Structure 1
Amino acid sequence: MTSPVRLALLGCGTVGSDVVRLLHEQSADLAARIGAPLEIAGIAVRRLGRDRGDLPVDPALFTTDPLGLIKRDDVDIVVEVVGGIEPARGWLVEALRAGKSVVTANKALLAEDGATLHDAAAEGGADLYYEASVAGAIPLLRPLRESLHGDRINRVTGIVNGTTNFILSAMDATGAGFAEALEEATELGYAEADPTADVEGFDAAAKAAILASLAFHTRVTAADVYREGITEVTAADVASAKAMGCTIKLLCIAARGADAAGRETVSVRVHPAMIPLTHPLASVGDAFNAVFVEAEAAGQLMFYGRGAGGAPTASAVLGDVVAVARNRLAGVHAASESAYADLPVRPMGEALTRYHISLDVTDRPGVLEAVAGVFARHEVSIATVRQGPAGGGPAGRGEDAELVIVTHVAPDAALAATVQELRGLPIVRSVTSVLRVEGGA
């Protein structure tokens, strides 16, 4: 075997600790796969005195000077599992420009400013790998980046946040409301003490930007992604979905298509949506992730597995480390970012979708005609209408009724304008729910 390939590990939390353990436990196999042993040159942490249990590593390797560690001549590869934008961006740019390849799990940085990292990698002739940034151990980004490089991907639809999928699955299974399901997710360790990034869709939006960038050869940032979280999803919404033969999931949807002028564009969005129980993503429960890819030649592909956690994420990190180390020994580096298409990102208002709308209305003749007129004015076609007593109570009691309307596909702007006008009708007491519907005819 040749001289060891030496790693600088930035961060030793849940993921970093599992990286260290896997490096120790699988050292012989990893060396055989690479053709050289892997060694840890140093580990940058915030606090040196923290108890790290029985972590199989020499305490002398720990340092609080990440930049100094990166600049060392004996460091070949930098592995970053700290997260956040700064100072991580500065560290990785320094490494890449110096020709040191980088493996990172930092979805937030990649989604906000991946262009800077890719440019630095090209400048330094280094590799930038980030399989662990989306969907944990699921081998997803490398197929998009390499295996499907000879194909044309038209659409990527995914469940990429385990916390929200657990919450929605619990609501579906038990009839619980959002607050109760979130409390359960927190008690079981699926949700952070501050779950905002998950339940408001920020985490999924960052991952959607990365997926769209790879799938469509276009630089897409988190700011380009339309985002809605799941905090407004109610038990009534879940029950209504069941009545339609659907379930509700927080979806990231990236699609290629033409705009009104016929130009090829992409749309990228994250929001809760009803999907039919027959859709492959409908059966993805608990905290699992899954991504459904539609390509012209390959057809429909599904990637499924655990999308988070220390060990699954560390597995993806080490997969990248092996690839990068082999490239280094061969004296090559992977092709840099593929952003040649440079497609414009379509605004959410032009995205084509369907709406499920629940209305509490005055129970008198002519109401349905008035409501249908609003849809007609905005050129939105109605697919189905279900009418019943408000609140699901016995018919003939009270002065209100409920209308549940599902539309055909239309631009989101037209659908939103329809809902806005409905809110102003005197006969509409309230618009109790608005959810998009995906995956159906």
Structure 2
Amino acid sequence: MMRTRPLKVALLGCGVVGSEVARIMTTHADDLAARIGAPVELAGVAVRRPGKVREGVPAELVTTDATALVKRGDIDVVVEVIGGIEPARTLITTAFEHGASVVSANKALLAQDGAALHAAAEAHGKDLYYEAAVAGAIPLIRPLRESLAGDKVNRVLGIVNGTTNFILDKMDTTGAGYQEALDEATALGYAEADPTADVEGFDAAAKAAILAGIAFHTRVRLDDVHREGMTEVTAADFASAKQMGRTIKLLAICERAEDGGSVTARVHPAMIPLTHPLASVRGAYNAVFVESDAAGQLMFYGPGAGGSPTASAVLGDLVAVCRNRLSGTTGPGESAYAALPVSPMGDVVTRYHISLDVADKPGVLAQVATVFAEHGVSIDTVRQQGKDGEASLVIVTHRASDAALGGTVEALRKLDTVRGVASIMRVEGE
């Protein structure tokens, strides 16, 4: 039997994502009601600019007083898509205090204060869902915290930012430089006017913190994630990668240590083999590769941003939360029982691709090899090219700690025969 009294939904934000949420709630109202077991009613929409025309949103529902909206007391679910830390944090906690569950797409807030938000939700017996915060339309959070709840996840490796993947894909397939590829991404609407959050890895780092926390049942905050941007990646790096059968992606990597005693979370450009499933992820698409004990290797792929894809994830959470509301239950909350320490980047062990500008004369390679040996970093392959007194050395190492590699590079910079360290890039997926 379907309940006739509707569940009331307050929408905070009506931009690209919020307007799609409102549209789908209206156009798919009958289907949503059938799936939930009760109608859902858009009871109010909080915005900053009330005079803007919002197609499909009745003017009488629009308000600039978000606080009053979440305090109404008759709101069942608050959907937060305004982003940022404040006022989103206060509005979400206020919603819990006044009896509403929350669906959010706010990766930055969840990465910074997820533990406190989960605690507030639990204290008031309410839900906090946020599938849309990490990978747009790609179902990822629910599989990690529900479908794989009985498994042990060891690694999450993914492309979680469509803007950076579009830029790197253009550099790879067309030979374009970074700025040229960024300009095209901006013209097509993939990159913001200020692309810093994307290209410097802040967006991906927030997502890595959320993924690591869920995968390893450990609280991982944004400050725990090592972050490097991709602005220094060059066409020469791609040319070198191609010679070795690799490409370059900006990756979010969350790993459990081999002894199981700690975890790491990092975001940086990396070379991966063309045979790796992530190598074929093109354009603005996202993909996440999950490795676990029992399930083995799983890959989740699809559009990771945009109004409609993100709204799809928001509406999926809305259906789940409304069902919980009707049955008087709540879904899974925070699982941080493992409380594993987060190791520093220096403890991470991987392979490296280093490009050096050196003097073209006898004995240089021997000097460079000696520095690597002194710091315990084993060389796998070396390529050398020289002309008119100048030369380049491209070295790929065996697995070594990031700290050992850092010491090696510092020592190399002090050699008179090394004119410069042109590029350092990690090699993953092998």
Fold match, TM over 0.5?
yes
Q: Which amino acid aligns with 2:296?
A: G
Q: TM-score, length-normalised on structure 1?
A: 0.96
Equivalent position SS for 1:254: strand
Quote the residue 1:402 is aligned against: 392
Quote the residue 1:236 is aligned against: 236
2:43 paired with 1:45: no
Partner Cα distance (1:180, 1:216) in 2: 39
Equivalent position SS for 1:168: helix
Partner Cα distance (1:296, 1:5) in 2: 40
Partner Cα distance (1:191, 1:361) in 2: 37
Q: Which amino acid aligns with 1:218?
A: T
| 8 Å contact kept, 2:73–2:99 | no
CA shift for structure 1 position 97: 3.0
1:8-157 alignment runs, 5 A limit? 8-52=10-54, 55-157=55-157
Quote the residue 1:434 is aligned against: 424
CA shift for structure 1 position 98: 3.1
Equivalent position SS for 1:155: strand
2:413 paired with 1:423: yes
1:264-275 alignment runs, 5 A limit? 264-275=261-272
2:275 paired with 1:278: yes
Quote the residue 1:318 is aligned against: 315
Quote the residue 2:350 is aligned against: 353
Equivalent position SS for 1:134: helix
Equivalent position SS for 2:279: helix
Partner Cα distance (1:110, 1:250) in 2: 21
The Cα offsets for residues 79-118 of structure 1, whole Å up to 9 and x where unpaired, read as 0000000010000011123331100000000001111100
Quote the residue 2:254 is aligned against: 254
Quote the residue 2:284 is aligned against: 287
Partner Cα distance (1:366, 1:73) in 2: 77
In structure 2, stretches of 5+ residues that fail to align are: none
Quote the residue 1:394 is aligned against: none
| 8 Å contact kept, 2:358–2:364 | yes
Equivalent position SS for 2:334: coil
Quote the residue 1:393 is aligned against: none
| 8 Å contact kept, 2:218–2:340 | yes
Quote the residue 2:204 is aligned against: 204
Partner Cα distance (1:96, 1:16) in 2: 20
Partner Cα distance (1:70, 1:279) in 2: 46
The Cα offsets for residues 207-240 of structure 1, whole Å up to 9 and x where unpaired, read as 0000000000011111100000000001100111
In structure 1, stretches of 5+ residues that fail to align are: 390-396
Superposed structure 1 runs of 4+ greater than 4 Å apart: none
Higher mean C-alpha deviation, range 151-160 or range 326-335: 326-335
Partner Cα distance (1:242, 1:21) in 2: 45
Partner Cα distance (1:4, 1:422) in 2: 68
The Cα offsets for residues 333-366 of structure 1, whole Å up to 9 and x where unpaired, read as 1132100001110000000111100111111111
1:174-193 alignment runs, 5 A limit? 174-193=174-193
CA shift for structure 1 position 59: 0.8
2:2 paired with 1:5: no
CA shift for structure 1 position 263: 6.8
CA shift for structure 1 position 429: 1.1
User: Number of aligned pairs?
Assistant: 428
| 8 Å contact kept, 2:359–2:391 | yes
Quote the residue 1:308 is aligned against: 305
| 8 Å contact kept, 1:159–1:290 | yes
CA shift for structure 1 position 368: 1.1
Equivalent position SS for 1:342: coil
Q: Which amino acid aligns with 2:311?
A: A
Q: Which amino acid aligns with 1:97?
A: E
Quote the residue 2:295 is aligned against: 298
| 8 Å contact kept, 1:97–1:123 | no
| 8 Å contact kept, 1:41–1:74 | no
